[in-house]
A = this chain, B = another copy of it.
């Protein structure tokens, strides 16, 4: 089937768009130069036939999915090498967050993911020079394939609870790695199951019976020639998950495995005292980096989902509210706009926020190098809170996009279920959201009370009147955060006075404390979304500027109406304001309507990256649904073998 034209319903939308979509695309890419570079790379990679799936992954067995992902991972590496593209791990440019080749090739993750994201960066960050010489280059060249194992079957974010042991034997100058229980088995690392032959293992370092805390060790787990697991290594895969079928997550247990002392990563252990717990220093930087990628990733998954849903809503027609007119595009229904436009705005908000956080982080990196760690706790707590609100909001809105497509959003060929899987995963990994908020609170209370992003918490004059402007709403979000924090702390103190231990009082108030931490995150998001838009909008043409501010205002009002209770309690909102805001919200939906398709086009996802029957650029959703269905191996034969084997005997009463 050749589909060269554009669905007229979609063309009409593009013709009536009032701003230059390319201008917005360039901003997302952090410069037009990078838009060009990205498109060049996409053109090259997506034209490689072997990287396309004849039969979509969803039809394959679990084992075939892994084999297909590995095959493509190797071919992609080869292609990237040929093109001369290399990932620069130490000097990341903003535009790299927009890299979409991997999303386009691996709908459900690649078994080499951890090589890039954890194995190489950990060697760079924690190995000494000699160790880098031994392993880093080999890893960069994929002569060895590694992963990073910390989480255990029975233990997650609570580091001290991890059970894997590395007992030092002074006589042989070796460490003996051991998993004393089933719950000590490493569980989850990507690529660990059947792909990696090396692994960085976090284990409790024990010397002469004394525990020196968690330390990183590099352990060879499979033979380089045969790939067989080495003696004492129990390794395998953990089974299917909600998503990430290509990632090959594995388990790993040790039965008294001996490794040379040179295999403990030494950059922070040069003095031989093992006092400097790497988790408290260097890894902060990595953690912040990972969280920035999560915030950006959340914005990106939401952008994908809303692109699909908006385009589908422009071509889907339903009902007939006016008797003599044709069925309208469902994008014309205010309830549909209500579901979708907030998705566009939220994706903008978190994209701007991720870039802003990245700028803080890069400037902080320089401070760190010169020994200034003052802003570290604040930055860490900020990154935790933003990880939580971005993953939570984007997951909810991705799901809203999926449901806005009705039954067809349930089809895997829409890609919406898979996008939901990727989005929701971020709520769990790198610290389940509640745990992250507790950490953020903890860090925040240890930080200087008036650090820049928390300065507003010290403000006293919270009795000012409500203002319906976006700047007024920014302030009201801060008032809510102050109000909720005060209420939670007052409850905490009351519990303490009533005789509870500090830990029990904290526990009893924790629902409120968590909610206050989240409110702080929302105050930051609202304020940064506005201020970064001010900065960016001053550089663009008038048409785009108007639309960007409409989105900021839509976001602000939507959030006020969503958090109306808090706003009434702590923000001095009144019933009359609610009516005005509701009306303005309805007006904004109407104002944004003509630019909805333009706004999602500006995210500039190629069809390969969207990979969606409902969301393709040409808008031929129904043709593509049928085309994809015809790829089903079940449709290759008119009668399935089950008929003769089971159904016929049943129908003939011969069972």
Is there contact, CB below 8 Å, between A632 and B227?
no
Q: 0/1 per residue, A403-447, Cβ < 8 Å to B? A: 100110111110001000000110111001110001000000000
Rounded to whole angstroms, the CA-CA distance of A61 and B56 in the bound complex is 11
Rounded to whole angstroms, the CA-CA distance of A475 and B309 in the bound complex is 39
Contact of A629 among B237, B428, B648 (CB under 8 A): B237
Q: Which of A229, A438, A582, A649 has the most CB of B within 10 A?
A: A582
Contacts of A334 in B (CB 8 A): 507-511
Contact of A182 among B236, B563, B626 (CB under 8 A): B626
Is there contact, CB below 8 Å, between A74 and B639?
no
Please tell me how many copies of the chain the complex holds.
2
- Interface status of A49 (Cβ within 8 A of chain B): no
- Interface status of A625 (Cβ within 8 A of chain B): yes
Rounded to whole angstroms, the CA-CA distance of A209 and B250 in the bound complex is 65
Is there contact, CB below 8 Å, between A638 and B229?
yes
Is there contact, CB below 8 Å, between A646 and B238?
no
Contacts of A321 in B (CB 8 A): 503, 506-507
Given contacts A626-B153, A648-B227, A653-B141, contact A66 B322 (CB under 8 A): no
- Interface status of A99 (Cβ within 8 A of chain B): no
Given contacts A239-B631, A508-B586, contact A227 B647 (CB under 8 A): yes
CB-nearest residue of chain B to A333: B507
Query: Which of A19-27, A187-195, A289-297 is found at the contact surface with chain B?
Result: A187-195
- Interface status of A151 (Cβ within 8 A of chain B): yes
Given contacts A412-B241, A491-B583, contact A629 B236 (CB under 8 A): yes
Rounded to whole angstroms, the CA-CA distance of A375 and B650 in the bound complex is 43
- Interface status of A374 (Cβ within 8 A of chain B): no
- Interface status of A63 (Cβ within 8 A of chain B): yes
Shortest CB distance A262–B (Å)? 22
Contacts of A336 in B (CB 8 A): 434
- Interface status of A89 (Cβ within 8 A of chain B): no
- Interface status of A71 (Cβ within 8 A of chain B): yes
Shortest CB distance A133–B (Å)? 19
Query: Which of A344-352, A462-470, A566-574 is found at the contact surface with chain B?
Result: A566-574
Query: Which of A156-164, A165-173, A263-271 is found at the contact surface with chain B?
Result: A156-164
Given contacts A158-B318, A510-B334, A646-B71, contact A575 B569 (CB under 8 A): yes
Contacts of A509 in B (CB 8 A): 334, 586
- Interface status of A251 (Cβ within 8 A of chain B): yes
- Interface status of A600 (Cβ within 8 A of chain B): no
Contacts of A407 in B (CB 8 A): 151, 156, 187-188, 428-429, 432
- Interface status of A487 (Cβ within 8 A of chain B): yes
Q: 0/1 per residue, A317-342, Cβ < 8 Å to B? A: 11111100001000011111011000
Rounded to whole angstroms, the CA-CA distance of A292 and B71 in the bound complex is 49
Shortest CB distance A611–B (Å)? 13
Contact of A413 among B239, B322, B563 (CB under 8 A): B239
Shortest CB distance A593–B (Å)? 11
Rounded to whole angstroms, the CA-CA distance of A311 and B66 in the bound complex is 32
Contact of A227 among B157, B564, B643 (CB under 8 A): B643
- Interface status of A622 (Cβ within 8 A of chain B): yes
Contacts of A640 in B (CB 8 A): 63, 66-67, 70, 194
Shortest CB distance A499–B (Å)? 14
Given contacts A161-B327, A403-B428, contact A142 B650 (CB under 8 A): yes
- Interface status of A86 (Cβ within 8 A of chain B): no
Is there contact, CB below 8 Å, between B634 and A193?
yes
Given contacts A411-B239, A510-B335, A630-B236, contact A322 B158 (CB under 8 A): no
Contact of A653 among B56, B143, B187, B655 (CB under 8 A): B143
Is there contact, CB below 8 Å, between A425 and B410?
yes
Is there contact, CB below 8 Å, between B410 and A242?
yes
Contact of A651 among B144, B428, B631, B652 (CB under 8 A): B144
Q: 0/1 per residue, A491-512, Cβ < 8 Å to B? A: 1000000000101001111111
Given contacts A568-B568, A622-B153, contact A236 B635 (CB under 8 A): yes
Contact of A240 among B64, B144, B412 (CB under 8 A): B412
Q: 0/1 per residue, A59-97, Cβ < 8 Å to B? A: 111111011001100110110000000000000000000
- Interface status of A539 (Cβ within 8 A of chain B): no
- Interface status of A623 (Cβ within 8 A of chain B): yes
Q: 0/1 per residue, A559-590, Cβ < 8 Å to B? A: 00101111111000001001100110110001
Contacts of A507 in B (CB 8 A): 321, 332-334
Is there contact, CB below 8 Å, between A239 and B58?
yes
CB-nearest residue of chain B to A339: B434
CB-nearest residue of chain B to A630: B236
Contact of A582 among B399, B429, B491 (CB under 8 A): B491
Shortest CB distance A55–B (Å)? 9
CB-nearest residue of chain B to A425: B410
Among residues 209 to 254 in chain A, which have CB atoms less than 8 Å away from a CB atom of chain B?
Answer: 224, 226-229, 236-243, 251
Contacts of A63 in B (CB 8 A): 59, 632-634, 640
- Interface status of A485 (Cβ within 8 A of chain B): no
Contacts of A649 in B (CB 8 A): 74
Rounded to whole angstroms, the CA-CA distance of A638 and B226 in the bound complex is 10
- Interface status of A276 (Cβ within 8 A of chain B): no
CB-nearest residue of chain B to A236: B635
Rounded to whole angstroms, the CA-CA distance of A228 and B640 in the bound complex is 10
Contact of A158 among B62, B153, B327, B564 (CB under 8 A): B327
- Interface status of A514 (Cβ within 8 A of chain B): yes
Shortest CB distance A146–B (Å)? 12
Is there contact, CB below 8 Å, between B240 and A651?
no
CB-nearest residue of chain B to A620: B182
Is there contact, CB below 8 Å, between B501 and A634?
no
- Interface status of A280 (Cβ within 8 A of chain B): no
Please, could you name 10 A-B residue pairs with CB atoms under 8 Å apart, sorted by A?
A74-B650, A78-B655, A161-B327, A182-B626, A188-B407, A240-B413, A243-B410, A334-B509, A334-B510, A403-B427
List 5 additional contacts besides A62-B634, A241-B412; criterion CB under 8 Å.
A78-B655, A156-B318, A224-B651, A236-B635, A403-B424
